[in-house]
Amino acid sequence: MAALNLPEQDGVSRSISDTSPTHYTMKIQLFSQLAKNKIEPYHSNDFKAGGYKWKLLVYPNGNKDKGITDHISAYLVMTQVESLPPDWKVRATFRLFLLDQNEDHYFTLEDLAGKRFNRMKLQWGFDKFIPLSIFNDPQEGYLVNDTCVFGADVYVAGKGEILSMTRDAISSKHTWNIYMFSTLTNKCLESEPFNAAHQTWKIQLYPKGKDSESSNFISLYLALAEPEKLSPLTKIYAEFTLRILDRSTYYKYKTHLFATGKHWFTATNCVSGWSRFVSVGNFEADRYLLYDNCGVEAEVTVHGVVNAL
C-alpha cells in the first residue's frame, strides 16, 4: 500500500488494522465541500473514553497554522475539562484511523510514547496525517464517492487518585422550612442549595414517598446540588444526619425524627438517604407538622475527598 511507504515520523507507528475503531467513528459525506467551504478544522461531536470526553479535529486542506498544505491534519482534543482540578494531568495513548474502503481495513497512526494532556495543552495529533495526493486518489480507497471514514481509540494511562482525609472535620448544618405543606403538589421537594466543606448540597423530600413501595412514608435524602461539576474520579466521603424537627412548644423535651448515614458521593452516585424515613401518619402529628409547616435539618461532615492524581 502506498500509505505504508510514507517517510517515517519519530515516535509514530503506522499500521494496517482489520479492527474498527473502538471509541469513535466519524463518516463524512461530500468531503470536498469541507475544503471548498473552508471549514477548517471540522470538529466532531464529543465522545467518551477512559472516563473523559474527547473529540476529533480534521483539517481537510492541512493545518495552515503549522504550515501544512499538502496533507490532511488530524488531532485528538480533550473537552469538558472545566470541572477538573486546576492542576489536572491526563496521560493517554491514542490511534487515529482512516478507512480503506477498497480493502475494508484501516490505515492507523499511533503516538507510541503517549501524550500528557493538561489545561495548557488540550490537543495532540498529527500535522501530516496522510498526503492529500494519496487521500484524494480513489484507487487508494480512502476517499470513495467523496466519502471517507475517520476514527479514534483513546487509552488513558497511569490513572491514579489522591485521597485527602480531614483531621477534626467540621460539621455544617442547614435548616429548611417548608410552609403550607398540604398544598404542595410536587412529587419531590428540594431545599435551596447550601455549602458544606466546599461542596454544594441540597435536601430532597418526597411527601408521598419516592416509589410505590414507600407511598405511605416520607422519603428524605441528601444530594449533591451540582454533581455534573465533579470529575469522573472525584469521590466525597460524608457522614450526615437528616432530621425532621419537633416544632412543639408544649413538650419539655424535643424528639426530632432523625437518621444518620455515611456515603461516598460521586457524579453518578450523588444521592443518599431513606425511602421510608417516617410514616405519613407519624409525620402529620402536631409536633412535626405544626400549622401546616415543618422544618427539616441536614448536618453534613465531609471526612475525605478523592481526586485524580
Residue 85 confidence (pLDDT): 75
Q: Confidence class of residue 51 from pLDDT cuts 50, 70 and 90?
A: confident
Distance CA 289, CA 257 (A): 12
On the question of pLDDT at 289 being above 60, the answer is yes
The residue behind cell 423530600 is 205
On the question of pLDDT at 38 being above 90, the answer is no
The mean pLDDT value of the chain amounts to 90
CATH 2.60.210.10 for the 2-159 domain, yes or no:
yes
Q: Which residue has better confidence, 52 or 5? A: 52
Residue 253 confidence (pLDDT): 64
Residue 251 confidence (pLDDT): 60
On the question of pLDDT at 160 being above 60, the answer is yes
162-308 and 2-159 share a CATH fold: yes
On the question of pLDDT at 235 being above 90, the answer is yes
Q: Which of 152-166, 188-202, 293-307 has the lowest mean pLDDT?
A: 152-166
Handedness of CA 280, 284, 288, 289 (dihedral sign): positive
25: left (phi over 0), alpha (psi -120 to 50) or beta: beta
- Write down the domain spans for the chain: 2-159, 162-308
- Residue range 132-143: mean pLDDT, rounded: 94
Contact 299, 173 (CB under 8 A): yes
223-229 long-range contacts, Cβ below 8 Å, gap at least 24? 223/270, 223/271, 223/272, 223/273, 224/199, 224/200, 224/265, 224/270, 224/271, 225/193, 225/200, 225/201, 226/193, 226/200, 227/265, 227/266, 227/267, 227/268, 227/270, 228/83, 228/267, 229/82, 229/83
Residue 1 confidence (pLDDT): 42
- Residue range 84-106: mean pLDDT, rounded: 90
- Residue range 104-117: mean pLDDT, rounded: 88
Handedness of CA 53, 58, 63, 68 (dihedral sign): positive
- Give ∠ CA 23-27-29 in degrees, rounded to 5: 170
Q: Confidence class of residue 159 from pLDDT cuts 50, 70 and 90?
A: low
Strand-pair partners of 201: 194, 224
On the question of pLDDT at 192 being above 60, the answer is yes
End-to-end CA distance of the chain: 43
The listed CATH number (2.60.210.10, 3.10.20.600, 3.40.1390.20, 3.30.1330.10) that belongs to domain 162-308: 2.60.210.10
Per-residue pLDDT tens over the stretch 180-191? 999 999 999 999
Q: Confidence class of residue 5 from pLDDT cuts 50, 70 and 90?
A: low
pTM comes to: 0.55
State whether residue 136 is helix, strand or coil.
Answer: coil
